[in-house]
Amino acid sequence: MIGILMLVGLVSAGASEDLQQAFARWPEDYATAAALGAAALADHDGTWAVRAWTRAAALSNGNLESRVGLVRAYTLAGAHGEATSRAHDLVEAYPHTPTALATLGWAQRWQPRLPQRSAIHAARSYEAALQLGGTDAYHCGVGWSRVQLGDRMGAHHAFAKTSARCGREGTAATQPAWSTWGTTVGGVTRFVEHPWRTRSTHMGLQAGLQRSSQVGVDITARRVGLQGVEARTRSTPAGSSATPIRARQDEIWLGGRTRARRVGVDARLGWARTVGDIDATALVMGGRGWAQLSPVTLGITGFSGAYSDGSHRQMGLDVDLPVTLDWAVSSGVQHTRFVAASGPSGAQTGTMGWVGARWLPRTHPWSAEAAVRIGREVRPVRLASTAVWNFEEPLLTSGMLSAGRLLGARCTGFAGVEVGALAVPEQAPPDGSLAAHTVVAGHMGLRVQSGPRAEERR
């Protein structure tokens, strides 16, 4: 019996037609069916691969070679569910055979549904095959599974353990290297029928540096300009002109991140100063820790802030589920609390739940993200956008939509809008009641990134 890998090496793409003719002439010959199946795999012809290996399996009563070939054939043909099912059956039939476990890892690694779970399970299958004495080339399967999970450093260590060609290719693709990025963003926020706010503008710059996936740092500078008029009440004389209000808030954010195999931490330290008709300062610190589980990523977020008019706490839990290689959904809950330094206002609290979805296709220049927040937020810190909604009024239910487009191999343009409401105290009568006033925040920007990318040829 000739092995699959030997057949792939012996059969050239130009021999496929001759093998197809031989396959039709000698339908009961196992060697011909296996040779055609191997050639079809090498030629990336899923239809002929399935046809040939199906016959080979029937002629051999399902021997190991034909069943392995059939799993690979169904994977190549895009029938990932069938491939995974047959791979599990193969492991049941050959539970202590490294080839069977590695074949299961292969099918799992190419499974497009729940890709995070698939990558974790694939790495475990390859590692089990190695523990049973499988060829060191199986380290390549471990490596590419880790690449899919974003663990370039762990992948590099796996590739370095084999002298096979796939190991050399993987080692070169995941060589530890520095990557950089820069982002510029600007936007306008409009306040609808707010007692004194009318509009604000913002602009920001971010620069970052990261070594592989292991550690990274970034700095963000942000400026927000606020315009408004002095709040009017029933006691304001009729016909009197409104006094304009202008203020500027400058923010500096320092960020750092690190990760191990499937856990990581993202930390933030921010300082803000408001000058003009409003004088205030803020110091915010916190971050997010996360862990990749099967099939989700769980995260916990915490921030603590010291403002000139009080103190702030924020805690949150979130879960992210990659559904396919292109789609992911997420949800979470967040609690915020602000305690005023003085005055009768006391503590303000808010609890908010959110759901979101993102579309990040690998073969399409466009991407999109949407989210809805339901509940109440008090001066929330947005970790994703590195900003603090520094309003004394609570933010109510809001929705966000953003889109991006690749403008080149390293450049991405993006734009988005968020619509929400601020819970503003009524000016008259002074009974403590609140009114919701719409706030619309739009932004657009550009991101440029440089550095190596590890991509498996699929």
In a shared domain, residues 221 and 362: yes
User: Which range has highest mean pLDDT (181-195, 320-334, 391-405)?
Assistant: 320-334
Q: Is the distance from CB of 221 to CB of 229 less than 8 angstroms?
A: no
Residue 429's pLDDT is what? 44
In a shared domain, residues 185 and 74: no
In a shared domain, residues 45 and 186: no
Residue 126 inside a domain? The answer is no
Residue 64 inside a domain? The answer is yes
pLDDT reading at 230 higher than 60: yes
Q: Is the distance from CB of 253 to CB of 285 less than 8 angstroms?
A: no
In a shared domain, residues 60 and 202: no
CATH number at residue 380: 2.40.128.130
Number of domains in the chain: 2
In a shared domain, residues 362 and 216: yes
Q: Is the distance from CB of 18 to CB of 38 less than 8 angstroms?
A: no
Enter the DSSP assignment of 318. Answer: E
Residue 438 identity (one-letter amino acid): T
pLDDT reading at 458 higher than 60: no
Confidence band for 389, pLDDT divided at 50, 70 and 90: confident
Residue 426's pLDDT is what? 62
Residue 238's pLDDT is what? 47
Residue 105 inside a domain? The answer is no
In a shared domain, residues 264 and 392: yes
Residue 110 inside a domain? The answer is no
Q: Is the distance from CB of 88 to CB of 74 less than 8 angstroms?
A: no
Last residue of one domain, picked from the residues 41, 62, 78: 78
Last residue of one domain, picked from the residues 52, 78, 104: 78
d(CA 276, CA 290): 40
Q: What spatial distance separates the first Cα and last Cα of the chain, rounded to whole Å?
A: 28
- Degrees to nearest 5, angle at CA 336 with 389 and 308: 60
Reported as a single tens digit per residue, the pLDDT across 43-67 is 999 999 999 999 999 999 999 999 9
d(CA 423, CA 435): 6
In a shared domain, residues 73 and 183: no
Average pLDDT (237-260) is 84
- By residue range, what is the domain housing residue 31? 1-78
269 three-class SS:
strand
d(CA 300, CA 104): 33
In a shared domain, residues 74 and 184: no
In a shared domain, residues 191 and 62: no
Last residue of one domain, picked from the residues 78, 103, 128: 78
Residue 95 inside a domain? The answer is no
Q: Is the distance from CB of 224 to CB of 201 less than 8 angstroms?
A: yes
Reported as a single tens digit per residue, the pLDDT across 194-216 is 888 899 999 999 999 999 888 99
Measure CA 241 to chain center: 51
Reported as a single tens digit per residue, the pLDDT across 74-125 is 999 999 999 999 999 999 999 999 999 999 999 999 999 999 999 999 999 9
Q: CA of 143: how far to CAs of 112, 120, 140, 456, in Å?
A: 18, 11, 5, 10
Q: Is the distance from CB of 262 to CB of 151 less than 8 angstroms?
A: yes
Residue 457 inside a domain? The answer is no
Residue 373 inside a domain? The answer is yes
Q: What are phi and psi of 25, to 5 degrees?
A: -80, -35
Residue 293 inside a domain? The answer is yes
CATH number at residue 3: 1.25.40
In a shared domain, residues 211 and 358: yes
Residue 301 identity (one-letter amino acid): T
